[in-house]
Chains A and B, each alone.
Chain A
Amino acid sequence: MKYTYYPGCSLHSAHKGYDYSCRTVLTKLGCELTELNDWNCCGATIYMSIKKITSLAIAARNLALAEKQGLDIVTPCSSCFTILNKAHKYLTNSQELLDSVNECLAEDGLEYNCTARVRHPLDVLVNDVGVEIIKLYLQKPLNDLKIANYYGCQIVRPDKEFDDRENPTSMENLFESVGAENVYFPCKLRCCGGMLMTTYKNAALNLSNEILERAEENNADCIATTCPLCQMNLEAYQNKMNKIYNTKHKMPILFFTQILGVALGLSEKELGIDKNFYSCEKLNNIYNSSITEKLV
């Protein structure tokens, strides 16, 4: 299985752990990732919400570049995933918009023909690779690890891409297959506040705090997330929340690929787990244990 890999800006700066783990896990499971040559920022939600054609044009530059490769685009960042998908939908829907965007792209000698397909690594792992194959590669079962699966807003919404929009279960299936326990977690699609953390800070802290509290209530050992911004909001502001809301948060927030990587027997460095602020004790124990299941 071959894919074009579009990491996105945040995976090259603040969230290298996600970048490393995504590449190693997918490569380990037999997927071949080629990074999109000379990609640019997708524009994210901010750009999309204020300049229409400009935002579509910069997203379409990536789509046009990727289209030449003729492979599915895999992007781990939730925001990139939504924006690229959305841009594709807008352009497919309106010939008028497509014409003006192609007019812009022509300045750089590019053209978009609406044939790109944007995927999320979770989609690839569950639907392309499949849990049965992942079980074959399992080296360290995640016994007794209680995970709260946090999907964030933008990978299942606004349009149904690969999972249910109200109660997605891809991550549950994935972790169940490697022996972990999924706790009841009602906040799996609750908004973490997103970019409001820099603008309306108290509102965002309030939202993130609720997510952490629900995870603690259900005795989760860690939260598995799919979005770089959610990871940042939930992890980096725990001290502040403890001060404001009198809580005792010390919840490790890991990317789902990092947790899966441990089960597949990958090293800490390959997964970038050392870059997280809080380490998960149970996961460390599993990591340090010897390989129990042989590679088939």
Chain B
Amino acid sequence: MKIENIYIPGKLIKKEADLRTAFLNSVHFIPEGDKIKTCLQCGTCTGSCPLAYLMDITPRELIALYRAGDIDSIIKSRTIWVCASCYACQTRCPASIKVTDIIYSLKRIAMNRKVYPKIPVHYLSDSFIKSIKAFGKLNEPRLMVYFFLKSGFWKAFSFLPLGFKMAIKGRLEIKADKIKDIKGLRKIINKAQKLDMPLQVAAQSYIKEAVGYKAVG
């Protein structure tokens, strides 16, 4: 966020207020999610993270930025895509903040706003969802094929020897295994996606009381 965009100290610009509402809404649903208030910026999360060296915003900085009212920079960062979900930060946090779950929330917000990383990491999750909607189960070879078709075909060649090796060992299941009640599962997914779409305002009262800037709107 540029300095010029901040008009009055303590009051957020519209975009940031939007992000904040979405974020706090999401945090509200995490069990003990409101512990984020208690962050003491000790850096245990960053110290525990095996991938912190790759991140442009470390987990500790991420929480600091959220407090400072700059979620915009977080969702544009590489951090949320680099996280491998090892939960080391979450386990060790002395204030028991659900750091990994919070990173998930931010990832969700980024994807909803179509903010994607330079390396097309998000295609992997797109392919994953496609596979589940089609078969109800994940088919690994197909997941990889979807992924490489979208993210760059040439990359697929580096995985070919491995695929060949797996096939010899009988570990490559090309035929996708469909569940019996696929229609029922699709109904569930369609309904759930409708519920996922709108910005829920159920947590409104919580948001107003939440950390930092009280004025969300």
Contacts and interface: CB of A to CB of B under 8 A. Distances in A.
A46 B190 CA distance: 18
Nearest to B187: A107
A157 B189 contact: no
B171 to A, nearest CB: 5
Contact of A40 (B132, B139, B147): B132
A49 B108 contact: yes
A105 B31 CA distance: 22
Given A40-B136, A158-B90, A104 B82 contact: no
B196 A53 contact: yes
Contact of A46 (B124, B189, B193): B124
| Interface size range of chain B in the complex | 35 or more
A285 interface: no
A48 to B, nearest CB: 7
B31 A104 contact: no
Interface in B135-173: 136-141, 144, 147, 162, 165-166, 169-173
B138 to A, nearest CB: 4
A57 B192 contact: yes
Given A14-B166, A191-B50, A46 B125 contact: yes
A89 B138 CA distance: 24
A100 interface: yes
Contact of A43 (B132, B169, B171): B132
A15 B171 contact: yes
B191 A107 contact: yes
Interface in B15-43: 26, 29-31
Name the residue among B87, B144, B165 with the largest chain A CB count within 10 angstroms: B87
B84 to A, nearest CB: 4
Interface in B110-147: 111, 119, 121, 124-125, 128-129, 131-132, 136-141, 144, 147
Nearest to A158: B87
Contact of B125 (A16, A49, A97, A276): A49
Contact of A194 (B86, B104, B121): B86
Nearest to B119: A199
A162 interface: no
Interface in A151-168: 153-154, 157-158, 165-166
A198 B147 contact: yes
A104 B173 contact: no
B87 A153 contact: yes
Contacts of A191: 50-51, 84, 86, 88
Given A104-B191, A158-B87, A193-B84, A58 B185 contact: yes
Given A47-B132, A54-B189, A90-B29, A9 B139 contact: yes
Interface string A199-226: 1100110010000000000000000000
A198 B86 contact: no
Contacts of A165: 91
A16 to B, nearest CB: 7
Nearest to A160: B91
Interface stretch (B5-13, B66-74, B176-184): B176-184
Nearest to B132: A41
B188 interface: yes
B192 A38 contact: no
Nearest 3 A-B pairs (CB), nearest first?
Answer: A108-B184, A191-B86, A13-B173
16 contacts: A12-B173, A14-B166, A40-B137, A40-B179, A47-B129, A47-B132, A49-B103, A49-B108, A51-B193, A54-B196, A56-B192, A104-B195, A153-B88, A157-B91, A198-B144, A236-B162
Interface of B: 26, 29-31, 50-51, 54, 81-82, 84-88, 90-91, 98, 100-101, 103-104, 107-108, 111, 119, 121, 124-125, 128-129, 131-132, 136-141, 144, 147, 162, 165-166, 169-173, 177, 179-181, 184-185, 187-193, 195-196, 202
Given A51-B129, A89-B31, 15 more contacts: A13-B171, A40-B185, A46-B128, A49-B125, A52-B29, A57-B191, A58-B185, A94-B29, A100-B195, A154-B87, A165-B91, A189-B88, A196-B51, A204-B84, A276-B169
